[in-house]
Amino acid sequence: MTPDEFAGRRRQLMRMIGEEGIAVFPAAPIRPRNRDIDYPFRQDSDFYYLTGFEEPDAVGVLIPGRPSGEYLLFCREKDARHEAWHGAITGPEDAPSALQADDAFPIADIDDILPGLLESRSRLYVTMGQYPEFDHHLTEWLATLRDQYKSSANTPQEFVALDHLLHDMRLYKSRRELAALKRAAKVTVAAHLNAMRRVEPDWYEYRLEAEFDYAFRSANARHAYPPIVGGGANACVLHYTRNDARLNDGDLVLVDAGCELDYYAADVTRTYPVNGRFSAEQAALYNVVLAAQEAAIERLTVGRHWNEAHDAARLTVADGLHDLGIVAAADADGIDGYFMHRTGHWLGIDVHDVGDYRVGDRWRELEAGMVCTVEPGVYIEHDADVDERWRGLAVRIEDVVAVTRDEPDVLTHGLAKTVDDIEAAMRG
Ligand code: GLY
Ligand code: MN
Ligand code: MN
């Protein structure tokens, strides 16, 4: 993403906030994993979206129309000893030029500076409830404001949820964001194709997972979420991540894996036979899910509402399971035990991206630039009350789709998806 893209986002947000408002937003905290080892740092998505700045211990401030600077950044100071261990710090001296900030200050000075900035604005835009430490600081800044500054008509009287504005912006992907999502999709598709070609009976699930580790890191990407590699009935566990069982000849394997590349995610699932050949039952069930996915994708067009794709997928699954004799009636309410999740979610910087699915009491209308997954599934537990031949089968098919002015754009296209194409890909 270029600096201009981040600057454009800040301008857009500032237009919405107006000259009575001020927005304050923190970087993600560092989280300890065990003893003195931390989890790999990943910047907060909102903070990254507005700044492009990847360091912890930072707070961004937007003050629309402020003559002496609208975009201020508090960040770590340069520190040779710390940098020797942890790598370069930008520092407040270089931050303005590196990040197009109007001014930057040491994070250690925020308690002295921020209350004075808040004083001049009547509306404070902030996200509360996400980081307890930030919430605590915020209360202290407001207390300082009350104690040290004469309360004037301009002191913040109103606290507004910043995420309402910001998450609505994030829902509409720009041209550059769509390009970034396509890059993540491409790496993910290639990894799935490679994994599908290589898998063999008696591999362990983690061996298949390792193909994704290698493919993603080779592209300077990482997993956007813990990958799911479930052989046989393990695939019925929706959030299965143990990935430590043997892949048996004759079973299906469900692989849900997607990378995050330059902060943009992909989220793809394919289900295929470990030995490269679908049985008749596996193929029949697979085709029900595929038909549901196709029916859902078709409905991702401008002007339709968000839930139409889900309704279409459920009806198609209900019809299909009825045709196979798995359920007694072709009734969408009768499949809850087999298809128990939604057909998709928004996708962007977060794999389950932000943005409301409803506006008031109505489902959101789709518009160009919205990006979501389409991921119907059918899961038949090993002890389900169905004919034995269906038991323990689970299928999910997931792709990433952008709503455009024309046809839905499947960003994860090019990855074998029909029974024939998967078998052909697995042959060689
Ligand atoms: N991989 C998470 C999901 O499919 O929503
Ligand atoms: Mn997924
Ligand atoms: Mn998903």
239 is an active site residue:
yes
338: pLDDT strictly greater than 70: yes
Averaged pLDDT, 315-344 = 95
- What is the mean predicted confidence (pLDDT) over 232-251? 97
Q: Answer for the pair 121, 115: CB distance below 8 angstroms, yes or no.
A: no
* Residues 274 and 249 sit within 8 Å (Cβ to Cβ): yes
Tens of pLDDT, residue by residue over 379-427, are 999 999 999 999 999 999 999 999 999 999 999 999 999 999 999 999 9
With a cut of 80, say whether residue 129 has pLDDT above it: yes
Question: Positive or negative, the Cα torsion across 177, 226, 39, 44?
Answer: positive
pLDDT band at 154 (very low <50, low <70, confident <90, very high): low
Catalytic annotation, pick one of 15, 33, 35, 239: 239
For 57-85, what is the mean pLDDT?
Answer: 97
pLDDT, average across residues 187-210: 98
Residue 193, helix vs strand vs coil:
helix
pLDDT at position 202: 98
CA 210 – CA 1 distance, rounded (Å): 29
CA distance 305 to 316: 18
Cα 243 to averaged position of ligand 3 atoms, centre (Å): 18
**Per-residue pLDDT band at 225 (split at 50, 70, 90):** very high
d(CA 361, CA 221): 39
Choose which residue among 243, 398, 399, 400 to substitute to test ligand 1 binding: the one with the highest number of ligand atoms within 8 A of its C-beta: 398
Of 278 and 151, the structure prediction assigns the larger pLDDT to 278
CA atoms of 307 and 292, how far apart (whole Å):
14
How far is residue 1's CA from residue 43's CA, in Å, rounded to a whole number?
15
Model pLDDT, residue 152: 62
Average pLDDT, the chain: 96
Which atom of ligand 1 is the closest one to the Cα of 257? Answer: 1
Q: How many CB atoms lie within 10 A of CB 362?
A: 10
What's residue 150's pLDDT? 65
Q: Is 99 helix (H, G, I), strand (E, B) or coil?
A: helix
Q: Which residues pair with 346 in a beta bridge?
A: 372
pTM here is: 0.96
Asked if 143 contacts 42 with a C-beta cutoff of 8 angstroms, the reply is no
CA-nearest residue, atom 3 of ligand 1: 267
d(CA 173, CA 105): 31
User: Which of 267, 296, 271, 221 is closest to 399 using CA atoms?
Assistant: 267
From CA 103, how far away is CA 82, in angstroms rounded?
23
Interval 315-319 mean pLDDT: 97
Q: Report which of 296, 300, 297 is spatially closest to residue 310, judged by C-alpha positions.
A: 296
| Model pLDDT, residue 423 | 98
Chain segment 82-111, per-residue pLDDT in tens: 999 999 999 999 999 999 999 999 999 999
For a pLDDT cut of 70, what percent of the chain falls above it? 99
Please give the residue that has the higher pLDDT: either 296 or 144.
296
Q: Residues lining ligand 1, CB < 6 A?
A: 225, 256, 267, 345, 375, 398
pLDDT band of residue 147 (cuts 50, 70, 90) is confident
Please tell me the predicted confidence (pLDDT) of residue 237. 93
The active-site residue out of 345, 364, 391, 413 is 345
CA 376 – ligand 3 centroid, Å: 10
Q: Report the nearest-CA residue for atom 4 of ligand 1.
A: 267
Cα gap 379→392, rounded to integer Å: 8
Give me ligand 1 centre to Cα 267, in Å. Answer: 6
> What is the token pair recorded at 132?
């307890």
Distance from Cα 186 to the centre of ligand 2, integer Å: 15
Of residues 333 and 126, the one with the higher pLDDT is 126
The catalytically annotated residue of 31, 136, 164, 341 is: 341
User: Which ligand 1 atom is nearest residue 225's CA?
Assistant: 1
**Average pLDDT, integer, range 310-332:** 95
pLDDT of residue 222 exceeding 90, the answer is yes
Length of the chain measured in residues: 428
Q: Is there a catalytic annotation at residue 406?
A: no
Ligand 1: which of 238, 293, 351, 399 to mutate, most ligand atoms within 8 Å of CB?
351
- pLDDT for the residue 153: 54
Higher pLDDT, 22 or 333: 22
Of all protein residues, the one whose alpha carbon is nearest to atom 5 of ligand 1 is 352
Active site residue 314: no
